[in-house]
A and B are shown apart, each in its own frame.
Chain A
Amino acid sequence: MAGRSVVIIGAGQAGSDTAAALRAQGFTGSITLVGDERHPPYQRPPLSKGYLTGATLREDLLLRPETFYPAQDIELLCGDEAVGLDREIRSVTLRSGRELRYDTLVLATGARPRRLPVPGADLPGVLTLRGADDSDTLRARLADGGRTLDLAVVGAGFIGLELAATARKLGHRVTVVEALPRALQRALSPEMSAHLSTEHQRRGVRLLLRREVTELLAGATGEVRALRLNDGELVPADLVVVGIGVLPNVDLAVGAGLAVGDGILVDEHLRTSDPDIHAIGDCARFPSPHAGRPVRLESVQNATDQARTVAAAVCGAGEPYTAVPWFWSEQYELRLQIAGLTAGHDQAVVAGDVEQGRFSVFCFREGRLTGVESLNRAADHGISRRLLAAGTDLTPEQVARPGFDLKHLARQAT
């Protein structure tokens, strides 16, 4: 491995973890990690939560201290970006003009927020939340001299709802506009999304479902002042945050002729159509044994586990990527955790105490458990991950039985 060079494009969770995992697994060649932001690699989950309130400090946001990279002999290039890829000579050109030769290239280019395709979407005061700079801007606006603001959030996905919760905690008036019939429709079962919607409304969030934004209107200062909805309603807004999903960053891959289709296409070893190039994290579409089809997953778990898989492949221990997907979200004091994939389930069984807000939704497809959504039930979540990894034979009937307790079941199994 000595003398070999790995270049990693993208210094988010996936890219940074690849560099660390290569060294941890004994790789002795050169490692260059290129990030387009000026910050060393940092965690994104707190950006919509603790970092906005100040509970999470900047230094706690960093995935690893800055001294980590030189100590591990990892060259970290911040504030630069790959603009060209020549697969013939295995070279990446950076915006700074520098050229990096590679033996293995890892594309961890992430994703960018989707823009709202309506008039006024570029007005000042219309923000998206993806990076630390976005969060800094938003935090400053939300702090704005202690003023109570009208905040409009477009999109009732995880980012939108986490932000709504944080803004309510800070005392702002919050309206969430969602085009689909329910919150988190693509991510959660109807049971869980109904419960979360109620919890938001109970805390004063105005949640408008089946409503679309048709225009953003400016006030006298030229800043955004209101949203116009498709039924004509005007929603006042000092600030608008658009959280309607992301687009994978595939330009470099497309330019180099790699196979792409809503994400850079990779095989079960996370190799692109060029065997010297891997793609991982938010930008990669991979065959998932848990989904039964190629998927693109935007999660920390997926980034870290794919990073380790690629590092192992570079070090000569290539295992297919089969990790059980999992996600989490925090809204108010609600701790939501999802094990496996629940989209496309045909049967859901609720276990636990819904009234008290401590329950899990077990999702089945054709009688087989595919995913479990847990609210303030961390034990259910962890045990479910184990069961899904092992290929469980848990049935809907078992879950529905009075007194069903996953902890008890886990103890019996070990």
Chain B
Amino acid sequence: MAKITYKHPDGTETVVDVPAPNTVMRGAKINNIVGIEAQCGGSAQCGTCHVYVDETCGVALPEMHEDEDEVLYGTASPRRDSSRLSCQLRITDDALDGLVVHLPERQS
């Protein structure tokens, strides 16, 4: 279980507990959080579950694979150093507990 904070572009936020072994993407889908589309269902194909990780939250992230890196070149909102695909951020045990992500303006 991990507490994940999704910050919306309008400044509001949604905080939810997401059980392992879900991803940060799935956590948003389960809770019907607007701003994560994940059209490909979480297979690092579409780039519509793009998030900006809040670097001040101090949570260590899994390493980025080449597929994810490639997909992030084509996101609808600009790629930044903090960009990740939320489908590749998997909650295992307490990993990612306290993660804060900012949702981009657009996903598609």
Which residues of A line the B interface, CB within 8 A? 20, 23-25, 43, 45-46, 63-65, 68, 72, 300-301, 304-305, 323, 326, 328, 330, 335, 337, 377-386, 407, 410, 414
Contacts and interface: CB of A to CB of B under 8 A. Distances in A.
Contacts, number: 67
A379 B73 contact: yes
B74 interface: yes
A378 B30 contact: no
For the complex of A and B, 7 pairs with smallest distance between CB atoms = A382-B74, A379-B73, A378-B70, A379-B70, A378-B71, A24-B34, A383-B74
Nearest to A304: B39
Given A335-B45, A378-B74, A300 B39 contact: yes
Nearest to B74: A382
Nearest to A410: B73
Nearest to A339: B74
B14 to A, nearest CB: 11
24 contacts: A25-B34, A46-B41, A300-B41, A301-B46, A301-B108, A304-B37, A323-B108, A328-B46, A330-B43, A337-B45, A378-B44, A378-B70, A378-B74, A379-B70, A379-B73, A381-B74, A382-B70, A382-B71, A382-B74, A382-B75, A383-B73, A384-B74, A385-B108, A386-B74
B76 A377 contact: no
Interface residues of B, number: 24
B73 A382 contact: yes
B73 A328 contact: no
A328 B44 CA distance: 11
B78 interface: yes
Nearest to A50: B43
Contacts of A414: 78
Contacts of A24: 32-34
Contact of A300 (B40, B72, B75): B40
B30 A64 contact: yes
B92 to A, nearest CB: 15
A337 B71 CA distance: 11
B47 interface: yes
Contacts of A386: 74, 76
Nearest to B42: A60
Interface in B17-52: 29-30, 32-34, 37, 39-41, 43-47
A68 B32 contact: yes
Contacts of B29: 63-64
Interface in B40-94: 40-41, 43-47, 67, 70-76, 78
Most buried by B among A382, A407, A410: A382
Most buried by A among B67, B78, B108: B108
B9 to A, nearest CB: 14
A60 to B, nearest CB: 8
Contact of A20 (B32, B40, B44, B46): B32
B30 A68 contact: yes
B19 to A, nearest CB: 10
Given A301-B46, A383-B74, 4 more contacts: A326-B46, A328-B40, A381-B74, A407-B73
Nearest to B67: A378
A383 B78 CA distance: 11
A323 to B, nearest CB: 7
A314 to B, nearest CB: 16
Contacts of A25: 34
A383 B72 CA distance: 9
A43 B74 contact: no
Contacts of A384: 74
Contacts of B30: 64-65, 68
A72 B33 CA distance: 12
Contacts of A304: 37, 39
A45 B39 CA distance: 11
B77 to A, nearest CB: 10
